[in-house]
Structure 1
């Protein structure tokens, strides 16, 4: 099937329809890796909500975990991941991912990702491996302290030169289009062209969600603005199960500065000897965990949160100034430059840091082929729940998950590329019953309210009462957003808010079901850990479908 564009009649205007073999929604590591693995065999459209460089991949600093050291092993990587996941990882998924890690990174190296290198004692060149929290060995390949940016640039260069990959930039995915003939099948997706401010249709035989997570649901986050849980919400509305949404990772060390938004201070600093401390330089992590500053992220984030509340401080500090200045500048040039621009010289003084929402460990349930409950819909990367992360993601396993499951998804799609070829009619988007909004302030107000009460009630430390309050507010917000969505034309803020309130509900409902504290989920009313934990799985009702403007469904 060639990528084409055609016109279809609509109620009040001409609607544009595009066609492709595979529609990939998201242009980060997961989406671009999948596109590259497919494009020699079929036509691919990659949908990007902003420009193709924007997304969580670009801001990943630390690196990608894989066994390259002879003293390391896949078994050790498995054991570390299981330990970090606090007893809730799927061991088969962990082994599936880690055993394919080296091949996945070798594939990236083949495209020219510039991972740092060094010389060994014999003068032989090898990759420089760093260590991060939860890892028992040095196994993190990295490109200085801007691995994600290097990966994004490399993959973008590769896909830009491929004639079968077509980029649609500044497009919001609205909803998957369910088949009228097969309940577990989708025929395409409604998308909003942000430049033309018009809804279009993309018809596809296969659809891959690679939209990242939903940490923008929180007031403070390390994520870029595009991380609004779009793929999770769309999959849920289309009938996919989600799992473990209560486990949202709060990165312990984001830069605390009035002029810095969402700037992450990589865990790799602690891997190279940086120490968490109070304003007076007193260290505190040894009081919380025997691993000290290299404890897993959930423990470190709770420790910082505890110390801030105990002392009434706005932040804690991360100090690497005891290391040689040239070492710091060489290994962390991006962090050094960013902090220096704000008047902080990390070679001489500690960095003010606070925890911030960082990574969604739960998501759309998939198998090892990245396939969801819908037969021709896949989910890859942070949007997906594979079982790899359990109750807490170990550092640098996230980009790894993207490239490993992009590979397995591509193999599965290509093995069944000709399974679906029928041309089922798609209803055009109907805007005949809606108008332009004259009260955008409602969206802004609801947006800020949602993110603030999620931070206050469903943050690092939770209680039953806080969760109940959050769910009541979410229910009211859903009603307001439903009414707004039914009567006004779509916009970026409306679409993101609609998705975020769905993600918020899924997080709260999962949190209320877990009657224990584990990993990233800490409930003061259930401080103990259960003996036999299981994933928290939510299934949508069978009656759920996508909704067009003019409907009251959300």
Structure 2
């Protein structure tokens, strides 16, 4: 694969004068409060001063929206090697086998630890109940409140971190940029509506800002998933990897005019069928595993079937399942369906794919350390090697826990070794004296236009023509957007999304093959030999390389 180059237009999103902005100091700064961020904070030494920054309320995160569950070997008829083999198989040649085996080996203990924090998992005969999901060879997915696993896990973790006296939580606070000095991360510039901008200087910083689903018109993600962590880390000089790897969930509730709601993988795990508008159960035509094939296969099959039938969606059929099972197992999904006059036990449920999980992200080692000294990362903002080219269902909460702990330990140890004599760097923003301020651009229209072209040209199917067309359009928007200084979260989010969209497009152009979630219709085959990663980093000689 050839080298590519891409440089952001600016190092910083805003102008600043360090003499006019308040400064505060922490030992460890945690950016993001999903499962990875909160678990990292809980691992930090109580002697350290810890600040947790989240751009919305503490209980709003993609982790809290997770429905299906968390995967781990808790059944004596299963074993860790099975879980590893399933994960590696789904990852289509890009998994790091050492990472996979380490994470799945730790999974049972991590799930049991969640119970000690107070998470109430569903039980069967006194033991944690397990279900099957796509790509798994055994039932190994633990769940809570039926189909609200993430909500229950985050409730327990948030209750615990709120009681930790060494943590200070800043809600509704947006991270504008990372602070760097001599190639080392020194904290972040943050903003909230009450206090404006603040420099938060930290000995160590942990980035756990989640994913990028809002880049696409159809997505299961909350509105906060705008790729901020990917963008701020890239501008600061950290290496990103496999940015073309966005996973599309096969089954998102599709009702015109409504927001998109995830229909968990567990619905198919319990036996639901996928049928087209003619009532034909089509998945056996595409894969012998039928509805339990990995997500990339099911998502493409649904897309193909929609084109064949010239219909806007396909349908989940649960009518052959016991009504009691459906209502007890999926209370939240059932409630959402009832809001639109649908009964899961009697009606076909309209679904289509949507952007779900960002597999690409910051390159991290086994301890969650990034390529930028002083910066650690965990969760969906990273490319850890666990998921490869296609995440196995219910491995995401598991990864957040595992790497949250590792990053927390590493940052804690490093911070304890550093003295308290902070040296404020003589920072200078890279804005010219004359520049345009935000002059009333329609940011909603711009974001909608961006998500639409990403869905059309950088979605489930891609080709060189569509990718280049998307690149030209994104560059056009970025040329005039980047010349404006915004003072709102919406403006900063748009700038971050434009940058990450270009990184995703460039990486997708370089990968001239189809692998996992990345499907090139002009290169439909997978390259022979071991899979290669696409890495990209901004430096004085910005370059993306494959290895």
Using the size of structure 1 for normalisation, the TM-score is 0.91
Q: 1:44-97: CA deviations, max 9, x gaps?
A: 111111111111011100000011111111110000001111122111111121
Q: Is the 8 A contact 2:18 2:427 kept in 1?
A: no
Q: CA–CA distance in 2 between the matches of 1:383 and 1:345?
A: 36
CA contact (8 A) 1:194 1:492 kept: no
| Partner residue in 2 for 1:551 | none
Contact 1:199 1:429 in 2 (8 A): no
**For the residues of structure 2 that align with 1:194 and 1:503, how far apart are their CA atoms?**
25
Cα–Cα, structure 1 residues 50 and 543, in superposed 2: closer, same or farther, change >3 Å? Answer: farther
Pairwise CA distance, 1:426: 3.8
User: What residue is the counterpart of 2:90 in the other structure?
Assistant: 84
Q: Please report how far the alpha carbon of residue 437 of structure 1 lies from its aligned counterpart in structure 2 after TM superposition.
A: 3.1
Q: How far off its partner does 1:413 sit?
A: 2.2
Contact 1:318 1:353 in 2 (8 A): yes
- Structure number with the bigger relative contact order (C-alpha 8 A, sep ≥ 6) is 2
| CA contact 1:57–1:152 (8 Å) conserved in 2 | yes
C-alpha separation in 1, matches of 2:24 and 2:428: 14
| 1:353-392 correspondence to structure 2 within 5 Å | 353-392=351-390
1:58 aligns with 2:64: yes
Query: How many Å apart are 1:436 and its aligned residue?
Result: 6.0
SS at match of 2:450: helix
Establish whether residue 406 from structure 1 lines up as the match of residue 408 from structure 2: no
TM-superposed deviation, 1:538: 1.3
Q: 1:387 Cα deviation (Å)?
A: 0.7
Structure 1 residue 439 corresponds to structure 2 residue 440: yes
Partner of 1:291: 289
**Would you say the 8 A contact 2:134–2:293 is kept in 1?**
yes
SS in 1 for 2:261: coil
* Residue number in structure 2 paired with 1:188: 187
Of 133, 152, 170, which residue of structure 2 is paired with 1:150? 152
* Higher mean C-alpha displacement, 91-100 vs 431-440: 431-440
- Give a deviation string over 1:168-203, Cα, whole Å, max 9, x none: 111110111111xx32x111101111344x211111
Residue 483 of structure 2 aligns to a residue in which SS? Answer: helix
8 A Cα contact 2:28 2:206, kept in partner: yes
Distance 1:445 1:492 in 2: 15
Q: What are the Cα deviations for residues 341-373 of structure 1, in whole angstroms up to 9, with x where unaligned? A: 210000111110010000011100000100001
Partner of residue 40, structure 1? 46
2:223 corresponds to: 225
Alignment-derived partner of residue 9 in structure 2: none
Secondary structure, counterpart of 1:401 in structure 2:
helix
Residue 505 of structure 1 is matched in structure 2 by 502
> 2:354, 2:460 → 1: CA distance?
9
Q: CA deviation at 1:418?
A: 2.9
Alpha-carbon distance change, 11 to 79 in structure 1, aligned in 2, over 3 angstroms: closer
Given that residues 48 and 416 in structure 2 are in contact (C-alpha distance below 8 angstroms), is that contact kept between their aligned partners in structure 1?
Answer: no
Matched residue, 2:105: 99
Give SS of 1:100's match. helix
Q: 2:170 matched to 1:168?
A: yes
Decide whether the 8 Å contact of 2:214 with 2:226 is kept in 1. yes
Query: What SS does the corresponding residue of 2:439 show, helix, strand or coil?
Result: coil
1:239 and 1:542 in contact (8 A); partners too: no
Q: In 2, distance between residues paired with 1:195 and 1:341?
A: 37
Q: RMSD in angstroms over aligned alpha carbons? A: 1.8
CA-CA distance at 1:440 after TM superposition = 3.2
CA distance in 1, matches of 2:189, 2:428: 8
Once residues 247 and 539 of structure 1 are traced to their aligned partners in structure 2, the CA distance between those partners, rounded to angstroms, is 16
Partners of 1:315 and 1:308 lie apart in 2 by 6
Q: 1:67 to 1:446 in 2, by over 3 A?
A: same
| Corresponding pairs, count | 522
Q: 1:527 aligns with which of 511, 524, 537?
A: 524
Q: Distance in 2 between matches of 1:467 and 1:173?
A: 30
Alpha-carbon contact 1:248-1:358 (below 8 Å) kept: yes
* 1:138 and 2:139 correspond: yes
Residues 306-317 of structure 1 mapped to structure 2, 5 A cutoff: 306-317=304-315
For the residue of structure 1 that corresponds to 2:201, the secondary structure is strand
In structure 2, distance between residues paired with 1:277 and 1:11: 59
Report matched runs for 1:107-146 at 5 Å. Answer: 107-119=113-125, 125-143=126-144, 144-146=146-148
Matched, 1:493 2:490: yes
Instruction: Please name the residue that 2:76 is paired with.
Output: 70
Counterpart Cα distance in 2 of 1:162 and 1:91: 35
> Which residue of structure 2 lines up, in the alignment, with residue 324 of structure 1?
322
How far 1:39 sits from its partner (Å)? 5.0
TM-superposed deviation, 1:433: 6.4
Q: Which residue of 1 aligns with 2:13?
A: none
User: Please, which of 252, 255, 259 is the counterpart of residue 254 of structure 1?
Assistant: 252
**1:49 matched residue in structure 2:** 55
1:479 aligns with 2:479: yes
Deviations 1:422-477 (CA, angstroms, capped at 9, x unpaired): 41224578798678633132x33322221111111111011110011111112222
Q: Which runs of 5+ in 2 are unaligned?
A: 1-15, 543-547
Q: 1:213 aligns with which of 211, 214, 221?
A: 211
Note if contact 2:277-2:309 (Cα within 8 Å) is conserved in structure 1.
no
> 1:46 & 1:193 partners in 2: Cα distance?
13
CA offset at residue 11 of structure 1?
5.6
Measured in 1, the distance between the counterparts of 2:18 and 2:177 equals 20
Offset from partner CA, 1:191-229 (integer Å, 9 cap, x none): 111344x21111111111100011111111100000011
| Pair 90,13 (structure 1): closer, same or farther in 2 beyond 3 Å | closer
5+ residue gaps, structure 1, are: 1-9, 120-124, 545-554
Work out the CA distance in 2 between the residues paired with 1:363 and 1:53: 23
Residue number in structure 2 paired with 1:242 = 240
Partners in 1 of 2:36 and 2:260 — Cα distance? 22
Q: C-alpha separation between the residues in 2 aligned to 1:27 and 1:411?
A: 17
